């Protein structure tokens, strides 16, 4: 998606440790017009499929997932990285090792909001090692839901997550696929 690639080139910042910072339009401040266009693009890419629900991960996935859910006219569920006192006790969970936070946590999703046979489109902002998306997939599979595919805003194709998940049979559509980036600020797309 050229609109997103151009924006990454203009406003993305490559930090040490192979981190791409897109805080100015996606991960802290959100350019609503851009994110709406991303939702429309996911709608176009998966328009041949019946989708019952969009599932994402808090917090950075929510805006992209919301704009996608608007297009499909379906509910959105966001998996949580921590539990509050009003969480249900009846939830699915799967472990995630966070690339940017250098921590691990359990992703949780209430059993109430995912059902056997539901057709799910997963949405997330980044795909790199794939840990978060694998956890989301495993939760859906445990629930007996059908995963139609995954829509990713930015994939680092030189990390293993995309290949591992595609090899497992998951359809992944990434709007921007980064093939290489360096700390002098250079970013290359596939």
Among 43, 46, 51, 67, which residue sits at the site for a second copy (rule: CB under 8 A)? 67
- C-alpha distances (whole Å) from 123 to each of 1, 84, 145, 185 are 16, 23, 15, 27
Please tell me whether residue 175 adopts helix, strand or coil conformation. Answer: strand
What part of residues 33-52 is at the interface with a second copy (CB under 8 A)?
Answer: 33, 35-36
Q: How far is the CB of 166 from a second copy (least distance, A)?
A: 26
Size of the site for a second copy (CB under 8 A): 42
Q: Does residue 58 touch a second copy according to CB under 8 A?
A: yes
What part of residues 76-115 is at the interface with a second copy (CB under 8 A)?
Answer: 76-78, 80, 84-88, 98, 100-102, 109-110, 112-113
Q: Does residue 66 touch a second copy according to CB under 8 A?
A: yes
Interhelix angle 61-72/32-45, rounded to 10 degrees, is 50
d(CA 34, CA 44): 15
Count CA within 13 A, CB hemisphere, residue 100.
14
Torsion over CA: 62, 65, 67, 70 (sign)? negative
Q: Does residue 15 touch a second copy according to CB under 8 A?
A: yes
Binding site for a second copy (CB under 8 A): 15, 17, 19, 21, 23-24, 28-33, 35-36, 58-59, 62-63, 66-67, 69-70, 73-78, 80, 84-88, 98, 100-102, 109-110, 112-113
């Amino acid at each position: 998606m050229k609109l997103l690639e151009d924006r990454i080139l203009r406003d993305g910042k490559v930090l040490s440790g192979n981190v791409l910072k897109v805080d100015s339009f996606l991960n802290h401040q959100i350019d609503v017009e851009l994110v709406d266009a991303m939702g429309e693009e996911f709608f176009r890419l998966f328009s041949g499929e019946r989708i019952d629900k969009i599932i994402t991960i808090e917090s950075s996935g929510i805006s992209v997932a919301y704009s996608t859910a608007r297009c499909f006219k379906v509910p959105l569920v966001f998996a949580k990285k921590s539990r509050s006192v009003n969480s249900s006790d009846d939830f699915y969970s799967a472990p995630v090792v966070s690339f940017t936070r250098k921590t691990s946590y359990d992703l949780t999703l209430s059993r109430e909001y995912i059902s056997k046979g539901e057709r799910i489109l997963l949405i997330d902002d980044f795909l790199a090692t794939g840990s978060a998306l694998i956890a989301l997939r495993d939760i859906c599979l445990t629930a007996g839901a059908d995963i139609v595919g995954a829509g990713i805003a930015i994939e680092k194709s030189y990390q293993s997550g995309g290949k591992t998940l595609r090899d497992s049979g998951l359809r992944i559509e990434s709007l921007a696929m980064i093939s290489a980036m360096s700390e002098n600020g250079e970013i290359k797309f596939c």
